[in-house]
Amino acid sequence: MGSIVGIFTATDKHLDRNLLLRMRNAITYSGSDHSYLEITPEDGVGLAHVPLISRDLTADSYQPMWNSNHTRVVVFSGTIFNCLEIRDELETLGFHVQPNSDTEVLLKGYEAWGTEVVDKLNGTFAFAIWDRSVGRLWLARDRFGEQPLYYFFDEVHSTFIFASELKAILEHPVVSKAVDPQGLQSYLVFGYVPAPLSLVKGVKKLQPAHSLIIEAGKTPELYCYWQLKQVATLQSAPEAEIRDNLRSRFELAVKRRLDRNSHLSPAALLSGGLDSTLVVGMMSKLLKEPVHTFSTAFEIGSVDAEIWNTNPNQCNSDADVAKAVSAHFGTKHSQLIISGRQDLIGTLRRCVRNFGEPHSNQINVTMILLAEWLKEQGIAVVMTGDGSDAIFGGEPRHQLDMQISLLQKLPRWLRNLAYANRNKWPLKDNFNPTAFRRVDLAPLTVERLNTWFTYSKVEFNHLLQGEYATDTGVIDSIYQDLLKRLLSNNHITSNQDALLYMDLKLDIEESNRMRAYKTSTPAGLASLTPFLDYQFVEYAMSIPFARKVGWQKDKQLLRETFSDLLPKVVEKRKKYGWRSPFGSWLKDYLWQDVCGLIQTLPETGIFTPEVCNLIQDYQPANSRQLWSLLTFAIWHQEFME
């Protein structure tokens, strides 16, 4: 785990040692004193690596790492879970590889198989290999984007720079600090900036499951090395066979992650929901020692009742269940209580600095406080249940979209009659009015798939000015590209299967994984997700949605497959999701800061003065929108001014 930085240039002034140091130091967090760099002026290459601050380093792990004849050098961030399997394969080919050295396995794997080594890797990774024998720099990123990788290419000066984080890229003088309109519009709609976009003009993210090759005097070439090609193909496989395969693959995914970190205390985040309970249950089954589990709870404010239109204590609905699950499995459980009286604005600023670009999910503040607390507890690696919702149909929108498909099977006159009498008929609680309103949206279309936006484009467009006010079409383009990729590799007819694919490619790869890395890494914490083991995902995504989800029963297949691992308190429990009481945070504790920061937005030349109306005419329903703008305002102050 850790972070990487590099420069490849034909211009000497852009390969300055102090410049590389500045880039490296931008992502060197407090206590990380084992970072190294390597510059070979004759090649025009400079590389640096920053390890996680809490991990013990053996001599062979120091990076950049050269091969024995000094022709190839690598910087690597991540963990290869099948490292020992690849090492054994290399040994049969005559290579000697030291035990448990992911970096050396990668380097010698490259010597054995070239760029095809990436196909053998099961893990989280971002790396760069300079091969001076062919004058080529090769970068790659893992299949689900668990390790980020940004890059910038300046064709005029023939300079290519890359880094694990955007803020390191911004240290280079060839990068201008200008906000990218497409990046901004995608942020305002999604709440994050999906790859290959970034929020800075000219800077791109290497997409998950992609590699990049650049040679001197040439432009970068991109390659996709992995795609899901068997989506929803298991139409007729026996149910028992599917369950057995799911179970064995999940157990292997958990075991691989435990084995690669066997020298550390086993730990997991336990929300009390289905997914984290399954992870803890499988860990407890495989281990002889008790698992350390951790959860959060909040002090609740009155504003949250208005935002959620429900009991505000829903934010803590998982906390009590987590304690019951801990008792069931005999874990060592600890709970972090988060109060609005803490330095929330300081934490939010720290969060934005760690991310290096705005990300508007309100749970980020909780995650960074949790990661810092885990560091104080001496925890270096933690297992989570992330990813399952997008694979097994765990989000409310998945049920809603299924309702749309069912309603579309009815004649229009019958749909209209049912909607007109929706409060009178026996199934009134089983159909959401939203399903009726969206029933005319055809399946497997951009219009149908993008209807589940975090925000609509019109919510923000009237707040923008200049070049930023012109609709770039980026949102539809993102969905069109993903849908084309899905349909070109798979024969599917269900909109729900397409929706799960979109959630995996966007919510998980572009939001969830970025959030996990950028909240945990500064605390020296590695976050592992067995549900995102790519071999498990390949099999799980080959199961049609209709076989995963029941009527009004999210993730039914997952519940039935692992019923023996589920305590009764979890088995039939409704999903609540991990929420924070950000409404009271905004109004009760941050309001003065919110007002001051929102009022700076027109000064950026990006937003119109009308943006200030959001604070003058505050409504609890606008809290998410305000949080998104607040996060952007802090980011602009920290990095662009």
Asked if the model's pLDDT at residue 54 lies above 50, the reply is no
What pTM was estimated for this model as a whole? Answer: 0.94
Whole-angstrom Cα distance, residue 256 to residue 291?
A: 16
Least confident of 131-140, 341-350, 578-587: 578-587
Q: Are residues 371 and 270 in the same domain?
A: yes
Whole-angstrom Cα distance, residue 599 to residue 581?
A: 24
Whether the Cβ atoms of residue 298 and residue 362 lie closer than 8 Å to each other: no
Q: What is the pLDDT of residues 84-121, one digit of tens each?
A: 999 999 999 999 998 878 999 999 999 999 999 999 99
Residue 422: pLDDT band by 50, 70, 90 thresholds?
A: confident
Whole-angstrom Cα distance, residue 517 to residue 520?
A: 5
Q: Are residues 516 and 485 in the same domain?
A: no
Domain that holds residue 442: 401-501
Q: Are residues 514 and 497 in the same domain?
A: no
Whole-angstrom Cα distance, residue 198 to residue 180?
A: 7
User: What is the pLDDT at residue 10?
Assistant: 83
Asked if the model's pLDDT at residue 569 lies above 80, the reply is yes
Q: Are residues 613 and 599 in the same domain?
A: yes
Residue 288: pLDDT band by 50, 70, 90 thresholds?
A: very high
Is 16 assigned to a binding site?
no
User: What is the pLDDT at residue 34?
Assistant: 55
Is 39 assigned to a binding site?
no
Q: Are residues 424 and 278 in the same domain?
A: no
Average pLDDT over residues 215-242: 95
Whole-angstrom Cα distance, residue 438 to residue 351?
A: 37
Average pLDDT over residues 200-220: 96
User: What is the pLDDT at residue 245?
Assistant: 98
Q: Is 619 exposed, middle or buried (0-12, 13-18, 19+ CB in 10 A)?
A: exposed
Check which CATH number belongs to the domain holding 145 and give it.
3.60.20.10
Q: Are residues 332 and 383 in the same domain?
A: yes
Residue 336, domain member (yes or no): yes
User: What is the pLDDT at residue 57?
Assistant: 47
Q: Is 627 exposed, middle or buried (0-12, 13-18, 19+ CB in 10 A)?
A: buried
Amino acid at 466: G
Q: Are residues 413 and 496 in the same domain?
A: yes
- Across the beta sheet with 150-154, the strand order is 36-40, 45-51, 2-9, 159-163, 150-154, 203-205
Q: Are residues 518 and 481 in the same domain?
A: no
Least confident of 279-288, 320-329, 580-589: 580-589
Whole-angstrom Cα distance, residue 162 to residue 198?
A: 13
Domain boundary among 560, 580, 600: 580
Whether the Cβ atoms of residue 131 and residue 72 lie closer than 8 Å to each other: yes
Domain boundary among 479, 501, 523: 501
If you write DSSP's letter for every residue of 57-105 in order, what string do you get?
A: --GGG-SSEE-TTSSEEEEEEEEETTHHHHHHHHHHTT----TT-HHHH
Whole-angstrom Cα distance, residue 494 to residue 496?
A: 5
Which parts of 415-544 are beta strand (E)?
526-528
Q: Are residues 456 and 317 in the same domain?
A: no
Least confident of 123-132, 159-168, 192-201, 306-315: 306-315
Asked if the model's pLDDT at residue 317 lies above 60, the reply is yes
Residue 231, domain member (yes or no): no
CA 110 distance to own-chain centroid: 27
Least confident of 46-55, 266-275, 341-350: 46-55
Is 300 assigned to a binding site?
yes
User: What is the pLDDT at residue 345?
Assistant: 94
**Contact partners, residue 56, CB within 8 Å, separation at least 6:** none
User: What is the pLDDT at residue 61?
Assistant: 60
Average pLDDT over residues 128-139: 97
369 against 31, higher pLDDT: 369
Q: Are residues 167 and 59 in the same domain?
A: yes
Check which CATH number belongs to the domain holding 270 and give it.
3.40.50.620
422 against 517, higher pLDDT: 517
User: What is the pLDDT at residue 577?
Assistant: 67
Q: Are residues 337 and 357 in the same domain?
A: yes
User: What is the pLDDT at residue 65?
Assistant: 94
Residue 230, domain member (yes or no): no
Q: What is the pLDDT of residues 623-637, one digit of tens each?
A: 888 999 999 999 999
Residue 429: pLDDT band by 50, 70, 90 thresholds?
A: low
What is the number of domains present in the chain? 4
Q: What is the pLDDT of residues 486-501, one digit of tens each?
A: 999 999 999 999 999 9
The region that residue 356 occupies, defined by phi over 0 for left and psi between -120 and 50 for alpha, beta otherwise, is left
Mean pLDDT taken over the chain: 90
User: What is the pLDDT at residue 30?
Assistant: 47
User: What is the pLDDT at residue 428?
Assistant: 52
Residue 200, domain member (yes or no): yes
Q: What is the pLDDT of residues 455-514, one digit of tens each?
A: 666 677 789 999 999 989 999 999 999 999 999 999 999 999 999 999 999 999 999 999
Domain boundary among 483, 501, 519: 501
Residue 537, domain member (yes or no): yes
User: What is the pLDDT at residue 432?
Assistant: 76
User: What is the pLDDT at residue 12?
Assistant: 73
Asked if the model's pLDDT at residue 292 lies above 70, the reply is yes
Amino acid at 624: R
Report the candidate in 61, 58, 45 with the shortest Cα–Cα distance to residue 8.
45
Whole-angstrom Cα distance, residue 61 to residue 63?
A: 6
Residue 145, domain member (yes or no): yes
Q: What is the pLDDT of residues 324-367, one digit of tens each?
A: 999 999 999 999 999 888 899 999 999 999 999 999 998 999 99
Q: Are residues 476 and 406 in the same domain?
A: yes
Asked if the model's pLDDT at residue 565 lies above 60, the reply is yes
Residue 233, domain member (yes or no): no
Residue 316, domain member (yes or no): yes
